[in-house]
Every structure is written in structure tokens, then in C-alpha cells.
């Protein structure tokens, strides 16, 4: 389980990288919506039920729920990523 200080650092890292993130993947996935969902999970400590309620039927990119769940797993210490921000493709 991540500490509040670790979560705050991760939120800041995601917000810092956001302006540099490529808006869409080559498959049309909206990277910014995914990133924003991760920030939301971290800022509001959303659990999986909250995530599905908020993003599961939103009609936005189908990759948003997995991205949000990854942030939840990161909080819980179950993510394969040490830094969520490093997983986003950056503009060149």
C-alpha cells in the first residue's frame, strides 16, 4: 500500500508529464483520458467499484477502465509499474 506522500508524488509526476503525452496512440486510444482517470483514482482514492461506476459505462475509450484499475493496483502495491507516468508515449 502506497503512502499519502508516495501518492502525492505520483499525482505530481502524472500532471507534469501530461502536456508532453501524445494525445492518441497509433490505435486511436485516448492517452490523455486514461492519464486523467489515473489522476482521478489517485486523488480520490477510488476503489474498483467506484472505477466501474464512474468509467465502466461512460462511452469513452474502452482502455480507460484498465488504466484506472492500474492506478488502483499501483496504490495497493500490486502494479507492475513503479511509476505510472513512465508508461505514456511522449510527443517528440
To the question of pTM greater than 0.85 for the whole model, the response is yes
Encode burial over 32-50: b for 16+ CB neighbours within 10 A, e otherwise. Answer: ebbbbbbbbbbeeebeeee
CB-based contact 68:46 (threshold 8 Å)? yes
Q: Which three cell numbers stand for residue 30?
A: 485516448
- Domain locations in the chain? 4-84
The CA-atom distances, in angstroms, between 76 and each of 9, 27, 34, 59, 69 are 15, 29, 19, 27, 10
Q: Please report, in tens digits, the pLDDT of each residue of the chain (92 residues total).
A: 999 999 999 999 999 999 999 999 888 889 999 999 999 999 999 999 999 999 987 666 578 999 999 999 999 999 998 999 998 999 87
Amino acid at each position: 500500500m502506497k503512502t499519502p506522500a508516495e501518492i502525492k508524488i505520483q499525482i505530481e509526476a502524472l500532471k507534469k508529464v501530461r502536456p508532453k503525452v501524445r494525445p492518441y496512440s497509433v490505435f486511436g486510444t485516448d492517452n490523455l483520458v486514461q492519464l486523467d482517470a489515473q489522476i482521478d483514482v489517485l486523488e480520490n482514492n477510488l476503489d474498483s467499484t467506484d472505477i466501474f461506476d464512474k468509467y465502466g459505462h461512460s462511452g469513452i475509450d474502452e482502455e480507460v477502465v484498465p488504466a484506472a484499475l492500474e492506478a488502483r493496483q499501483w496504490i495497493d502495491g500490486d502494479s507492475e509499474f513503479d511509476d505510472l507516468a513512465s508508461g505514456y508515449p511522449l510527443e517528440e
